[in-house]
Amino acid sequence: MKLYTEVYLILLLMIFLTDYFMHKQLKNRILIYKIFNFSISTFFVLAFTWIKLFSIHINNHKLTLILMWFNLLFLCIYIPKIIVLIFIFLKKKYKNQHIALNSVQYMILSAFIFIVFYSSIITPFQFRIIKTEVILPTLPSSFNDYKIIQLSDIHLGSKPFNKVFYKKMVELINNENPDLVVFTGDMVNNYAEEMTGYEDVFKQIKATNKYAILGNHDYGDYSIWETKQAKAKNLNNIKSNFAAFGFKLLLNEHVFLHAKKDSFALIGVENYYKNPVKNYAKLDKALTGIKKNTFQLLLTHTPVHWEKEVLKHKEVKLTLSGHTHAAQMGTTILGKILSPAVLMYKQFNGLYTIEEQNLYVSRGIGYIGLPILIGLNPEISVITLKSK
Residue 41 to residue 86: CA distance in whole angstroms: 19
pLDDT at 63 over 70: yes
pLDDT at 201: 97
Are residue 17 and residue 93 in the same domain, yes or no?
yes
pLDDT at 28 over 70: no
Q: Which residues pair with 299 in a beta bridge?
A: 268, 320
Are residue 99 and residue 225 in the same domain, yes or no?
no
Are residue 154 and residue 237 in the same domain, yes or no?
yes
Are residue 51 and residue 194 in the same domain, yes or no?
no
Are residue 79 and residue 226 in the same domain, yes or no?
no
Q: Which residues pair with 254 in a beta bridge?
A: 267
Are residue 107 and residue 162 in the same domain, yes or no?
no
Cα distances (angstroms) measured from residue 355 to each of 137, 265, 284, 287, 303: 11, 20, 22, 21, 17
| Each residue's pLDDT tens digit, 225-277 | 999 999 999 999 999 999 999 999 999 999 999 998 999 999 999 999 988 77
Are residue 264 and residue 337 in the same domain, yes or no?
yes
Share of the chain above pLDDT 90, in %: 87
- Span 117-140, mean pLDDT? 96
Q: What CATH number is attached to the domain comprising 147? A: 3.60.21.10
pLDDT at 355 over 80: yes
Do β-strands 248-249 and 180-184 pair in parallel, antiparallel, or remain unpaired? unpaired
Are residue 34 and residue 111 in the same domain, yes or no?
yes
Do β-strands 336-338 and 331-333 pair in parallel, antiparallel, or remain unpaired? antiparallel
Are residue 72 and residue 133 in the same domain, yes or no?
no
Cβ distance 352 to 361 under 8 Å? yes
Residue 31 to residue 266: CA distance in whole angstroms: 67
Owning domain of residue 112: 5-121
Are residue 141 and residue 81 in the same domain, yes or no?
no
Are residue 103 and residue 209 in the same domain, yes or no?
no
Q: Which of 90, 105, 121 is the last residue of a domain?
A: 121
Element (H, E) at 174: helix 163-175
Are residue 237 and residue 285 in the same domain, yes or no?
yes
Q: Which of 92, 121, 150 is the last residue of a domain?
A: 121
Q: Which of 75, 96, 121 is the last residue of a domain?
A: 121
Q: Which of 182, 177, 195 is nearest to 245 (CA)?
A: 195
Specify the number of domains making up the chain: 2
